[in-house]
Chain A
Amino acid sequence: MSTTQKITLAKGLNMGLRKAMEDDDKVLLMGEDVGKLGGVFRITDGLQKDFGEDRVIDSPLAESGIVGTAVGMALRGYRPVVEIQFDGFVYPAYDQIVCQVAKYTYRSQGKVKMPIVIRIPFGGGIGAVEHHSESPEAQFAHTPGLKVVACSNPVDGYWMIQQAIAHDDPVIFLEPKRQYHADKAELDDSATPEPLFTSRVVRAGSDATVLAYGPTVKTALKCAEAAESEGRSLEVIDLRTLSPLDMAPVYESVRRTGRCVVTHEAHVNLGMGAELAARVTEECFYSLEAPVLRVGAFDTPYPPSRIEEEYLPDLDRVLDAVDRSFAY
């Protein structure tokens, strides 16, 4: 029986995790404070109560331990879903993710699968202290053997987490933490979701293409609204998958618009935008009216939160880049 309800991203993820655990008893959740507390963002709220301590596991405070034991559980046939409490805390687990999780299938010539989901709340804008607002996606998208996705809205949160858990390869699952409790959207749980590793046009337009993912999708959509009042039609694409990239909708769009702006919260230098710009340039060279422009964080550490809005890409900075694109 299908139901329709208005949910937040936090609720969507929570419902998606619950559904995945109901569908497959090999799915285990593990992380810091994910049990009784339901996670510091309450994403796993109520799951330990309903599925027990063996399936929703409160871990010692050691990120490498969390990911490293997940490797062993995966080898034993489980599908661990681990929560890294904040983006900036993922680095103690970096070796396990990059050297172990990412390579086991390759090293074993496909004999071993690593169906592990590593959930990471990412991005800024919540007024947090340092190490709580980072965007480390390029570090993982750069690593062969990992898949990296980012959800941007409640409905995607519900479907994408289930798809990531059902997938046989390791998935870095990025959740824009400032969106957790922000906007509600209508979920129809009888709908058929798009495949996980696909990007999606979220607003059609004809004059320029704006590429975004995670928290900047909302920024890009606002930007398109503002541009419309100035007579410019922006097409917004929610990339959703960062590795592998789904470039076909991007190429199709840029060939029509001739202009492309990429925005993300991560640093610009060697970020996703650099890869996207390179690929768009290689494939759409003769359609481009202007170089692909990037709007992201400066190449500085994340600043004190009182000035984070001056650091993160916002409506005006993205619009400014659109203006510059039209100036060519």
Chain B
Amino acid sequence: MSDPVSFGPDLADVFGPSQSDGGPDLVQLLTPEGERVHHPEFDHDFSAEELRGLYRDMVLTRRIDVEATALQRHGELGIWAQLLGQEAAQIGAGRALRPQDYVFPTYREHGVAYCKGVDPLRLLGLFRGVDQGGWDPNENNFGLYTIVIGAQTLHATGYAMGMQRDGVVGTGDPERDSAVIAHFGDGASSQGDVNEAFIFAASYNAPVVFFCQNNQWAISEPIERQTRIPLYQRALGFGFPGIRVDGNDVLATYAVTKAALQRAREGNGPSFVEAYTYRMGAHTTTDDPTRYRLNDELEHWKLKDPIERLKVYLRRNGLVDQEFFDDLDAEAKEMGHHLREGCKALPDPKPLDQFGYVFSEMTDEIAAQRDEFAAYLASFEGSHS
């Protein structure tokens, strides 16, 4: 037996100490206890109004999620992808966007959709089975939900390359300069498409922010199955910076994403933001996390709740009064009502609707199949079951 041959540096030295709780590079502006801390690079002077706004957005986003989960339990939705625990990551990222920026979501970006002005009711159609994305992507600059994980990161990169060609990057005009944000999760970081998107974006210096919500779990697969190094450190290997931010800290997520988007808009290329967070709920309503993770872990993360810490901060600093909470509560109730009643009223597609929109214009082949099926259906009219 000989001593093991040295092969490159000791990775523990390169990647630093333990990464539990996010590790030393975690950017944080608001601690889980609601303490405002400052960061030398990423900071922002939040006004009281901004802080109340972010709190309101998170509360309403959680309400959307809770209502949709309940609608699934009542049989009104076939499935729902919950975001419980990821409100700060989504609102922080969503509020950092400008109207001209474009979002490519996964199927869990309900909070970002809300920030982009997509009526949350529109999100339910996909999960109810009445459509496959009921919004116009170009109306709110919010792409369709993407189920094949990671595929949208390439769409985002191509869209950003289009922006470069349109001359809306690096002009110095804040109303004009634009960027794209590509959302994905820790599981998708293993996908070939995500890695190809990194390469294309780096190669063309495309104005895209890769925003990864590392919620620690890809259904039952823990983050350790996807990566042996902290995800944000991967970016450097592709040739652009990666930052890990406390994804349960809406202030830090906002500040970091804002800086990343601004960097892209100015023509300085892609970057990677790892929002370090936790999926407090199940992967979807069909999942059962008790089969693969310990309750202790959930209890540990509950102490880092994104909404609670901002509430503590707002109260402690006298930035809110009871009227604020009462108004918000009423607004959340109204949102719940809108979703419950709206969901039940979403019209089912008609049998012949399935033939529409395969192409920009219906082909003769599909028209013939539609007509044949219509005649078949009509043959039952007047008959008694």
| Chain A contacts to B: CB under 8 angstroms | 28, 54, 59-60, 62, 64-65, 67-78, 80, 92, 95-96, 99-100, 103-113, 144-145, 147, 168-169, 197, 244-245
Contact = CB atoms under 8 A, between A and B. Distances in A.
A169 B144 contact: no
Contacts of A113: 360
Contact of A69 (B137, B138, B200): B200
A75 B159 contact: yes
Contacts of A169: 359-360
B359 A145 contact: yes
Contacts of B132: 103, 106-107
B158 A72 contact: yes
Contacts of B154: 64-65, 67-69, 71-72, 96
A64 B198 CA distance: 13
B252 to A, nearest CB: 29
Contacts, number: 134
Interface of A is mostly: mixed
B138 A60 contact: no
B159 A110 contact: no
Main secondary structure on chain B at its contact with chain A? helix
Contact of A77 (B148, B157, B162, B180): B162
Interface stretch (B26-34, B189-197, B227-235): B189-197
Given A106-B357, A147-B359, A73 B193 contact: no
B161 interface: yes
A61 to B, nearest CB: 9
10 contacts: A62-B199, A68-B197, A69-B154, A70-B158, A75-B155, A75-B158, A78-B165, A109-B357, A110-B357, A169-B359
A144 B197 CA distance: 26
B117 interface: no
A73 B143 contact: no
Nearest to B203: A60
A104 B136 CA distance: 11
A6 to B, nearest CB: 35
Contact of A64 (B136, B163, B193): B193
A229 B136 CA distance: 61
A68 B357 contact: no
Q: Which of A68, A80, A105, A169 has the most CB of B within 10 A?
A: A68
B162 A68 contact: no
A60 B159 contact: no
Interface in B319-378: 356-361, 363-366
Contacts of B357: 105-106, 108-110
Contacts of A96: 151, 154, 193
